[in-house]
Amino acid sequence: MPRWFGLIFTLFPLIFIAVGTGLAINQHAKLVRYKPVTATIERTWIESRRGSESTNYAAKVDHRYEVEGQTYVGDHVYPLEVSSSNRSAAQRTINRFQVGDTVTAYYNPSDPSESFLVKEPDFFPYIFAMFPMLFVVIGLSILLAGPRPAKDDVAPRPAIEGFFELSPDAGLSRRLKAVVLVTGLWWLIGLVCLLHFTGIGGRMTMMPSIAMGVYGAVGLVGFGILGYYLKLQSQLHDALVMIDRTEPRIGDSLTVYVEQLIKRGLTVSAMNVGLRCEESYKRSTGRSTEYGTHVRHESSEPFECADGTSAESDRVVAAGEALRYTGTLTLPDNLPASTPARQKLYPRFRWFITVHTDILRGPDYKARFPLTVLPAKSVTQPAASSGESPDDKERPLVLEEPIRRISL
């Protein structure tokens, strides 16, 4: 998913959050600053406001009061004027008042013509501030843990014995930090709203209780994802992926070596390594334009262990040991090469080597390693050389000790 999509998801909801925050601050100011005054109920009525699709209703209670010898008439019931499509709710509100009753109203000392009757905060501003956070969280997740743009791809780096290391699209540490941040932000906003609402006299009636219950339930998803990555990171490191050339071309067969250090003893059911090609497209229909990404090619197969044994059967790995798998991946000759990062036109193509470590009774490890694939060589041109003789390329890579990991 492109990063601009995450940026839109992050920034656009801030408009609604700002509106909700502004309403909450305005409501708070009225509850704190407005002064009490004796008032008399003169009339109760329901104001209807017709919209394009529905009609909203607001409870109105005319009340007369006097400030410094001047008489005023107000009609607001709450600090914030509340309306909804539920007429019965407005009716229940005005039923609380009888014409001729003497009540306490609250007026603005800076402008005595402004007043309200019920000194209770409404929960609506907090809903407006909290629930757009869902889109902010999604947007931040894309920005912080989503695939990096092609222009940020790192070229393969020399490793050992003619092999070159690839960098993961999003490592475990990066993904875990993103989950911690967005989960913490979600619960922080919810807690601040709850404490502010109750701190200014709000009561946990049905609507605030339901809203906070739904908000908390959604937040539990974040804790579940956090637990997933905490457990995964406690079990293993990011995979180390190496290939036998720096500039693979369409039609080439790549020798791939994968090593993954284990932190805690576990059972690995299989390690699948494959190729993935994604196409980003732009489609225009009339006045609308659609952007998207779909998988153009995906293949995955179980690799053999570096010692020649099968990687498909369950394998017990002790803490401190390393999974070492090796195999060959062939870039299909009927697919396009990687699109240069500087190209702005569509379609655009990106290639990845994918790694999926299937852990028995535990969270699976999944990662993508961006790979720049060049167009196939012309048949009249000599084949590209990786600096190795054919005999060298046929020699399997077998290591006794884990490779010194390069900081990613």
The model's pLDDT over 86-139, given as tens digits with 9 standing for 90+, comes to 889 899 999 999 999 999 999 999 999 999 999 999 999 999 999 999 999 988
**Whole-number average pLDDT of the chain:** 86
Identify the burial level of 117 via C-beta atoms within 10 angstroms of its C-beta, where 0-12 means exposed, 13-18 middle and 19 or more buried: buried
Q: How far apart are CA 217 and CA 213, in angstroms?
A: 6
The model's pLDDT over 325-342, given as tens digits with 9 standing for 90+, comes to 888 999 999 999 999 888
Under DSSP, the state recorded for 150 is G
373: Cβ contacts below 8 Å, ≥ 6 apart: 248, 249, 250, 331, 337, 338, 351
Q: How far apart are CA 350 and CA 109, in angstroms?
A: 65
Q: Which two tokens stand for residue 82?
A: 């509340």
- Name residue, tokens 């000194």: 119
Residue 177 has a CB neighbour count (10 Å cut-off) of: 14
Q: How far apart are CA 217 and CA 181, in angstroms?
A: 18
What is the sign, positive or negative, of the torsion defined by CA atoms of 346, 296, 372, 377?
negative
Q: Which two tokens stand for residue 263?
A: 């932190």
Under DSSP, the state recorded for 175 is H
Average pLDDT for residues 35-50, to the nearest whole number? 93
pTM (predicted TM-score): 0.78
The pLDDT-based confidence of 317 (bands split at 50, 70, 90) is: confident
